[in-house]
C-alpha cells in the first residue's frame, strides 16, 4: 500500500476521501499516530495520508517523532512512501516554484532519534522485533530508484515540470539558515535545503519501505537573492506549487496501483 507524507503546505490532501482514521500505537510515544486511510478520485484501492507536522501543522521539524510516524505506517500495511518537502533553493535551477525529485541527501541534523536500532531492547509486537544488535543499512542511494522513476514518469504524464536529481541538505531548524551556512551547504554540494528529509528517509530504509521525496522550492536560500525571506512569500509559493504537487501525486498513485 502507498502512503503520502505531507509537509508544509500539504497538511491535508485535496479530494482525498477519508474512509477511516487509524490510530496506531507505537513504542516511541504515548499517543497513537493518526493516519488517514481512504481513496483518491480515479485511483483504485486504498491509500494512506500522514501530515508530518501533525494536525493543524503544530509540530516543528526538530520535534517530529519520525520513528513513531514511520513505524506506524509500516504497521498499517504501507510498503511505499512518497514524501512531500518544502525546501529552499540553492542550485541555480531551484528557484521558487521549482519542483525537484532529489536523488541524494546530506544530514546536518542533530539530537534526533534517527534509528530503530539504537542499542536498546524494544518489545515490539511485530514479525521482525528490533533488538540491541548493531545494524548498518546500505544508504548508498537514499531514495528508492523505482519510486523516483515513478515520480518522474508521473510528472511527464501530468504535465508537471520537475527537476530530476539534486542533493537535499537536511538541517535542524526550525530557524532558517544564515548566509554562511548556505555557503557551506553550497560548497558541500547541496542543491536544496530543508528540515524534514532526515531521519525520515533512513528510518524508512531500516524498515524496508520504499521511499522517495518530491520537493517544492519555496524561496531562494539565504544570500542567494536580494529578496527578503518572509513567511508571506513562502505561503504564496506554496499556494501556487501545491496544486502541481497534488496532480503529480494523484498520477503517481495511479501508476503505483497499475504496477502492483
- Whether residue 44 is predicted with pLDDT greater than 50 in this model: the reply is yes
The whole-model pTM stands at 0.91
DSSP string spanning 166-227? -EEEE---SSPPPHHHHHHHHHHT-SEEESSSTTHHHHHHHTT-EEEEEEEEEEEPTTSSSS
130-147 average pLDDT score: 84
What is the predicted pLDDT for the residue at 122?
A: 55
- Whether residue 260 is predicted with pLDDT greater than 90 in this model: the reply is no
What is the predicted pLDDT for the residue at 127?
A: 47
pLDDT tens-digit readout, 46-76: 899 999 998 877 899 999 999 999 999 999 9
What is the predicted pLDDT for the residue at 125?
A: 47
CATH code for the part of the protein at 2-259: 3.40.50.1580
- Whether residue 128 is predicted with pLDDT greater than 60 in this model: the reply is no
Spell out the alpha helix ranges (H) of the chain: 66-75, 145-158, 179-188, 200-206, 231-259
What is the predicted pLDDT for the residue at 100?
A: 97
**Distance between CA 4 and CA 126 in Å, rounded?**
23
Work out whether strand 17-24 and strand 167-170 pair parallel, antiparallel, or are unpaired: unpaired
What is the predicted pLDDT for the residue at 45?
A: 84
What is the predicted pLDDT for the residue at 123?
A: 47
The count of residues in the chain is 260
What count of other Cβ atoms lies within 10 Å of the Cβ of residue 101? 24
DSSP 228: P
pLDDT tens-digit readout, 3-38: 999 877 676 777 888 889 999 999 899 999 999 999
For residue 69, CA distances in Å to 60, 196, 203, 248 come to 14, 12, 10, 23
Q: Dig out the grid coordinates for 57 from the structure.
A: 501543522
Contact 168, 192 (CB under 8 A): yes
- Whether residue 89 is predicted with pLDDT greater than 60 in this model: the reply is yes
- Whether residue 132 is predicted with pLDDT greater than 70 in this model: the reply is no
Give percent above pLDDT 70 in the chain.
93
Q: Dig out the grid coordinates for 193 from the structure.
A: 535545503
- Helices 145-158 and 231-259 pack at an angle, to 10 degrees, of 100
Give percent above pLDDT 90 in the chain.
69
pLDDT tens-digit readout, 149-178: 999 999 999 999 999 999 999 999 999 999
Average pLDDT over the chain, rounded to an integer: 90
Residue owning grid cell 529578496: 227
Q: Which comes out higher in pLDDT, residue 131 or 78?
A: 78
Q: What are the φ/ψ torsions at residue 198 (nearest 5 degrees)? A: -130, 145
Amino acid at each position: 500500500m502507498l502512503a503520502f507524507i505531507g509537509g508544509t503546505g500539504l497538511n491535508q490532501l485535496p479530494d482525498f476521501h477519508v474512509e477511516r482514521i487509524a490510530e496506531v500505537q507505537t513504542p516511541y510515544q504515548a499517543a497513537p499516530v493518526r493516519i488517514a486511510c481512504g481513496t483518491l478520485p480515479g485511483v483504485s484501492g486504498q491509500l494512506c495520508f500522514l501530515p508530518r507536522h501533525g494536525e493543524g501543522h503544530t509540530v516543528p521539524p526538530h520535534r517530529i517523532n519520525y520513528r513513531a510516524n514511520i513505524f506506524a505506517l509500516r504497521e498499517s500495511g504501507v510498503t511505499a512512501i512518497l514524501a512531500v518537502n518544502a525546501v529552499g533553493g540553492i542550485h541555480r535551477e531551484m528557484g521558487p516554484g521549482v519542483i525537484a525529485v532529489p536523488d541524494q541527501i546530506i544530514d546536518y541534523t542533530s539530537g534526533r532519534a534517527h534509528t530503530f536500532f539504537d542499542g536498546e531492547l524494544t518489545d515490539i509486537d511485530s514479525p521482525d522485533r528490533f533488538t540491541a544488535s548493531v545494524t548498518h543499512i546500505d544508504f548508498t542511494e537514499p531514495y528508492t530508484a523505482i519510486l523516483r522513476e515513478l515520480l518522474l514518469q508521473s510528472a511527464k504524464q501530468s504535465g508537471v515540470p520537475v527537476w530530476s536529481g539534486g542533493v537535499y541538505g537536511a538541517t535542524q531548524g526550525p530557524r532558517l539558515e544564515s548566509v554562511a551556512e548556505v555557503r557551506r551547504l553550497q560548497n558541500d554540494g547541496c542543491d536544496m535545503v530543508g528540515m524534514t528529509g532526515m531521519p525520515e528517509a533512513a528510518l524508512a530504509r531500516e524498515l524496508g519501505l520504499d521511499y522517495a521525496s518530491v520537493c517544492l522550492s519555496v524561496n531562494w536560500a539565504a544570500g542567494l537573492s536580494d529578496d527578503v525571506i518572509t513567511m508571506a512569500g513562502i505561503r504564496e509559493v506554496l499556494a501556487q506549487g501545491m496544486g502541481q504537487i497534488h496532480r503529480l501525486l494523484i498520477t503517481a498513485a495511479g501508476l503505483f496501483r497499475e504496477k502492483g
